[in-house]
Amino acid sequence: MDYQAVLEEVAAFARPYVGHGQVADYIPALEKVPGDRFGIAVADINGEVYGAGDWEVPFSVQSISKTFSLALVMANDNEDIWKRVGREPSGTPFNSLVQLEWENGVPRNPFINAGALVITDRLQTLTGDASTTMLHFLREESGNPDLAFDQAVADSEADHGDRNAALAHFMASFGNLENPVPSVIEHYFWQCSIEMSCRDLAAAGGFLARHGLRADGSRLLEAREAKRINAVMLTCGTYDAAGEFAYRVGLPAKSGVGGGIVAVVPGRCTLCVWSPGLDSRGNSVAGAAALDHFTTLTGWSVF
């Protein structure tokens, strides 16, 4: 596979979609990001990374971080976390309170905000410092020791984080948090604020394409656990548009409102695409188009 040629063609295809959609404006620090950026990278299972466009420009990972926190919890807890969070698509917006009322404080899946808060809470219990643990892990897997939190984004999220605080307090009222709410949401905001490029994220997600093996060859997850994370990414990773995304792209993926999407071709490679303009569901317009074209060109999907 000539990855570079494929990426250049995908980037050219996606260019007309760049600038479409709306840059996330409910987090003021994200609203300042230019909407005309586009990057794409692919990391093969041997760790070689190829890219096109703005593939080395850092951006806020936001909800993409939820994939890594879930992996770190499963690496320590195996299947126990599923007693506190479900694995079903939500069908409601990622920050909805409604289903928690119906389902006694147990979030539908780990990729909506409520579910991610439960995962962060468990990672905090396991490590004593959930956000720093994730940052160190991402530095190691990406091979980029300079990865860092973005203070302005973390502060901005904290200043506009009432909905997430409400989710956390509501779950705490049902006994589904182990740590104090302020600590959980603080670490959650720090995780979301990490800045990474397409190159960094494609490399860091490689363990999901390698069936649980880290960049250094050590095992983070059993193959069945990596399979299960990929399955939940496919069904729940793109908010309440997961069905449409699976129909178009056919790959496990996790998106973030910073405009990034990480997608996995098990046994072959991991991709990351970034363009800040979002559709009404919070997914990158140009990013989804690019991944659709990638699977069309290569014939690589899980279907």
Reported as a single tens digit per residue, the pLDDT across 247-266 is 999 999 999 999 999 999 99
4 CB contacts (<8 Å, ≥6 apart)? Answer: 50, 52
CB 229: neighbour CB atoms within 10 A?
Answer: 23
Q: Band of the pLDDT at 93, cuts 50, 70, 90? A: low
Q: What integer pLDDT is reported at residue 26 of this predicted model?
A: 79
Percentage of the residues of the chain whose pLDDT score is greater than 90: 87
Distance CA 21, CA 88 (A): 27
Residues taking part in catalysis: 63, 66, 188, 239, 257
Q: What integer pLDDT is reported at residue 160 of this predicted model?
A: 85
Prediction pTM value: 0.96
Cα torsion 296, 297, 299, 302: sign: negative
Cα torsion 209, 288, 118, 137: sign: positive
Q: Is 19 exposed, middle or buried (0-12, 13-18, 19+ CB in 10 A)?
A: middle
Is residue 211 within 8 Å of residue 252, measured between CB atoms? Answer: no
pLDDT digits over 32-85, tens only? 899 999 999 999 999 999 999 999 999 999 999 999 999 999 999 978 899 999
